[in-house]
Structure 1
Amino acid sequence: MNHVVWTIAGSDSGGGAGIQADIKAMQSFGVHGCTAITALTAQNSLGVEALNPISTDVIESQLLALESDMKARVIKIGMLANVQQIQLISEHLKHYKATWPVAPLVVYDPVAIASSGDLLTEEDTVSAIKECLLPLVDVITPNTHETQLLTGIYLIGPSAVIEAAQKLQSWGAKAVLIKGGHWDYPSGYCIDYCSDASSYGSNEYWLGNEKIQTPHSHGTGCSMASVIAACLAKGYPLKDAFILAKAYINQGLKAAVRYGEGIGPVAQTSFPDNLDDYPQVIEAGSWLGDELDFEQPNEFTMAAGFTECENKRLGLYAVVDSLYWLEKCLAQGVKTVQLRMKNASEEELEHAIAAAVTLGKKYDGNVYINDHWQLAIKHGAYGVHLGQEDLLEANLVAIKESGMRLGISTHGFYEMLRAHNYRPSYMAFGAIYPTTTKDMTGQIQGLEKLKRFVPLMSDYPTVAIGGIDLSRAGEVAATGVGSVAVVRAISEASDYQQAIADLQMAINSNE
């Protein structure tokens, strides 16, 4: 994959923002940053003393050199100092998107420099952004001040934030990420919002965390947009790039120190590996959701803190679609089995779930029921497994009060943090590899991400699932994940008993 990212932005002579921050942040996420400089600022920790725009001829020469040899997967845009620069960059972006073998994604951080005269207050500048640039932008990342300058909407509450995002999208931006560092609502918290009108439909995401009290926050906007660009270049979905960028900034704010006599820069650190640095996914039923007046769909009531599993290491986890295979696995000593039946009638399901519970007790195994939580409760199942899409429909309070264990599927960092809201009994990560059992387009995680997930969720039993067979089970288990789930590796094996023995050996050899 092409991990080249361009930053088209101004230079900060103080080293805290602009292209200096961009390159450092991109490097933290393992991508190669290239630059096209639009302005030379004379600034230090006390402020901007001069802004010197680069001529369009010089900017174009930089762009032509990069295009001929180092095409970017993502182009991050920062300071554009005048209308001529906006028009030039827009023309080039239009050409790239139309002619490159893979059209680049564009991340735009609309920089406003108040001490030099707001770049976004000139009427012709805002018009050029709306008419020329925004139709080419995949993600725009304004802070609250920049959002208000561009849209004229004062962000007095969540509904105004949504309205402003919709306005920016109406001008062409596909996704809008409004940074809430200057928006003290609710008091003492930093709330960020993302609206993503992708080809998979419109999605909204809210993240929140307590404000990190430090004056040294120079360069947070540049750095956040650069991390988003880096993550998109590596194939992460926007919601994961969003949450990783927030965690990176939180980590950097905690480590920030003063250089000079004024405001110091946010620290450029590394991939965020401390759960305390990650924001909360805000949803209906949570405390922050209530503060933001989120409507609760249906009769949804959030529940958290489900019955713990007996062991943090669940070992080999067989996912089967019939009682036949459920009993064969249990009889061979597989302690964790999930019954996942699709397209069965209600009568067939009830019979199968009741029988599965009985078999689990007979063989002293832990049987989970996929999706059908009502029948699982009725027949006293050991546990139930739900996907992310099921969480708003299931009666989580009833599941919790029944004493059943709850396992939740996750596909990426955002969904992992969302699942964490519920404090489930275990957490499943997938799909680790492509699989034929279901369409996982855009949701393949791979070992690199799995190695990040496991330590972040170390308080939970963790399960890896998706495309795992005997040849891969060992390397998956080596990540430290406590369980490896298989679907076809047992049922399609020529000798299922040997397959189970070999899988258990591969998994347990890493303990």
Structure 2
Amino acid sequence: MGNLIWTIAGSDAGGGAGIQADIKAAQSFGVHACSVITALTAQNSMGVEEINGVAIKVIESQLDALEQDVQPKVIKIGMLANEQQVEFIANTLKRYKTTWQTPPVVVYDPVAVASSGDSLTEEDILPAIKTHLLPQVDVITPNTQETQILTGVYLIGPSAVQDAAKAFNELGVPTVLIKGGHWDYPKGYCIDYGAHQGEEYWLGNKAINTPHSHGTGCSFASSVAANLAKDYPLKDAFILAKAYINQGLKHATRFGQGIGPVAHCGFPHDINDYPEVIEADSWLGQELDLEMGSEQVSARDFAKIETRNLGIYPVVDSVDWIERCLKAGIKTIQLRIKDSSDADLEEKIATAITLGKKYDARLFINDYWQLAIKHGAYGIHLGQEDISVANLAEIKQAGIRLGVSTHGFYEMLRAHNYRPSYLAFGAIYPTTTKDMTGQIQGLEKLKHFVPLMHDYPVVAIGGIDLNRAEEVAKTGVGSIAVVRAITEAADPEAAIVELESVLK
């Protein structure tokens, strides 16, 4: 069930961590959390006084009741109080993974030490975790201390963080998200690391100085679990969980006489709460000594567009369609020719650019940035993969506007690094013009994307026709990119008028 997770964890009498934090975090992302309680902790804002482990029979009865009724896509594991609980939960997860029609994704927050510094588990629990539990875990979310305890790798630098992730892989965990809240490297910054399916993700922001951080680990892992349950890709679940914690730390206050809990404030809609996606050529990337993945030449702060409302934005593959749309009054348009071996490619691009100038339109060339510069295009549109190989400094120097495709929140933040002229977000719906398997964003994500990126002209793209345009326009986007809605219309000129009226 996509809007439901299970959390198997301890109860915090003070309400700041454990099951209580898990439920609040999941609800902030619109996900319902069912709970299986493993321990009743007697704790408050000043510390943990007692841990009362729940009997295996009681845990089993909770799990059986849930399994009969609601099988989730994601199960989040928190505190397990003793070796017997670890072995039981591990065996239960193994059964779920082999007997359920859809095996659950298991997210594990290896709760060993509370934010207050109190130990939350028995010392002899570690061998059982490594031997039995970790092989059933899909995503682990340790802090630096928990990473060092479980892997034996001391995190003295970025390469050690990567080594620790590999150590977790060898212990049977395929996806690793290491939280850097206690790392302080570079000094004054919080750096988080993710490794997933052969890709690495580094996120960073200035450290948020507050003593009130109780429950951050539980809330982070539950945020990841909630977004994975909604079929968000791991990199988006990672970045949203990080933004959620940053937001919560900024709003955290004291309850009681000791450490206050992280605040639960709903979906993070302030871009200032989001971390930076760290790339090798950035300041943080250089501090971390990250290897350059390409010969990329970077730049930022590209030429502005005079309006945030670009209107209906046809993406077409021929000069004839360029001219027909411009004659019909279109003011923003893109030429996308997929065949780079086209013998007349340069001539077509040059002709399209001339037409754009003739009709005083914002004409963007897809991909072919060298030719766009050569012939003085208004703008260039690049995909995420193209950012890594294009000479962005040359594009900026030419004064040409830059539009960038984004598919989700991680790519949104990566594109934001360059401060382009506009951002395109999609695919909103399935489309036949391009294989977007696994990248369908939907209206819900678009509704979050628009307020986050309010400083940019925002373009919604992917599978949008006249029937869908109205609901897309209600999100507040300033532009809707269309392909078949015009090129396959019985009367393209009439379709343009109808689409423009919906957006206005």
Same fold (TM over 0.5): yes
- Equivalent residue of 2:208, what SS? coil
Q: Deviations over 1:385-409 (max 9, x none)?
A: 0000111100000000011000000
Q: Is the Cα–Cα contact under 8 Å of residues 7 and 77 in structure 2 kept in the other structure? A: yes
Moved more, 131-140 or 237-246: 131-140
1:62 matched to 2:62: yes
Q: Is the Cα–Cα contact under 8 Å of residues 51 and 120 in structure 2 kept in the other structure? A: no
Q: Is the Cα–Cα contact under 8 Å of residues 178 and 193 in structure 2 kept in the other structure? A: yes
Instruction: Report what 1:187 is aligned to.
Output: 187
- Equivalent residue of 2:365, what SS? strand
Instruction: Report what 2:298 is aligned to.
Output: 302
Q: Deviations over 1:242-275 (max 9, x none)?
A: 1111111111111111111111111111111111
- Equivalent residue of 2:131, what SS? helix
Instruction: Report what 1:8 is aligned to.
Output: 8
Structure 1 stretches of 4+ with a deviation exceeding 6 A read none
Give, in whole Å, the separation in 1 of the partners of 2:159 and 2:96: 36
Instruction: Report what 2:480 is aligned to.
Output: 484
Give, in whole Å, the separation in 2 of the partners of 1:27 and 1:311: 37
Instruction: Report what 1:437 is aligned to.
Output: 433
1:493 matched to 2:495: no
- Structure 1 position 136, deviation (Å): 1.6
Aligned to 2:315, which of 319, 329, 342? 319
One-letter amino acid of the counterpart of residue 271, structure 2: L
Instruction: Report what 1:119 is aligned to.
Output: 121
Q: Is the Cα–Cα contact under 8 Å of residues 81 and 122 in structure 2 kept in the other structure? A: no
- Structure 1 position 118, deviation (Å): 6.1
- Equivalent residue of 2:199, what SS? strand
Aligned to 2:390, which of 389, 394, 399? 394
Q: Is the Cα–Cα contact under 8 Å of residues 120 and 149 in structure 1 kept in the other structure? A: no
Give, in whole Å, the separation in 2 of the partners of 1:177 and 1:129: 17
Give, in whole Å, the separation in 1 of the partners of 2:451 and 2:32: 26
- Equivalent residue of 1:69, what SS? coil
1:354 matched to 2:350: yes
1:81 matched to 2:74: no
Q: How many residue pairs were aligned?
A: 502
1:205 matched to 2:201: yes
Instruction: Report what 1:220 is aligned to.
Output: 216
Q: Deviations over 1:305-331 (max 9, x none)?
A: 000112211001010011111111111
One-letter amino acid of the counterpart of residue 414, structure 1: Y
Q: Is the Cα–Cα contact under 8 Å of residues 26 and 230 in structure 1 kept in the other structure? A: yes
Instruction: Report what 2:417 is aligned to.
Output: 421
- Equivalent residue of 1:441, what SS? coil
- Structure 1 position 234, deviation (Å): 1.0
* RMSD over aligned Cα atoms: 1.2
Percent of aligned pairs sharing the same letter: 67
- Equivalent residue of 1:127, what SS? helix
Q: Is the Cα–Cα contact under 8 Å of residues 2 and 231 in structure 2 kept in the other structure? A: no
Q: Deviations over 1:158-202 (max 9, x none)?
A: 1000110111012211210000000000000100001012xxxx1
Give, in whole Å, the separation in 1 of the partners of 2:133 and 2:346: 57
One-letter amino acid of the counterpart of residue 446, structure 2: L
Q: Is the Cα–Cα contact under 8 Å of residues 317 and 485 in structure 1 kept in the other structure? A: yes
Aligned to 1:238, which of 234, 251, 264? 234
1:287 matched to 2:283: yes
Give, in whole Å, the separation in 2 of the partners of 1:432 and 1:323: 26
Give the unaligned 5+ runs of structure 1: none
- Structure 1 position 282, deviation (Å): 0.6
Correspondence 1:52-201 to 2 at 5 A: 52-113=52-113, 117=119, 119=121, 121-122=123-124, 125-197=125-197
Give, in whole Å, the separation in 1 of the partners of 2:89 and 2:435: 38
- Structure 1 position 2, deviation (Å): 3.1
Q: Is the Cα–Cα contact under 8 Å of residues 51 and 116 in structure 1 kept in the other structure? A: no
Give, in whole Å, the separation in 1 of the partners of 2:433 and 2:230: 25
Give, in whole Å, the separation in 1 of the partners of 2:24 and 2:431: 36
- Equivalent residue of 1:364, what SS? coil
Q: Is the Cα–Cα contact under 8 Å of residues 248 and 264 in structure 2 kept in the other structure? A: yes
Moved more, 292-301 or 282-291: 292-301
Give the unaligned 5+ runs of structure 2: none
Q: Is the Cα–Cα contact under 8 Å of residues 47 and 118 in structure 2 kept in the other structure? A: no
Q: Is the Cα–Cα contact under 8 Å of residues 298 and 392 in structure 2 kept in the other structure? A: yes
Q: Is the Cα–Cα contact under 8 Å of residues 120 and 146 in structure 1 kept in the other structure? A: no
One-letter amino acid of the counterpart of residue 55, structure 1: A
- Structure 1 position 117, deviation (Å): 4.3
TM-score, with structure 1 as normaliser: 0.96
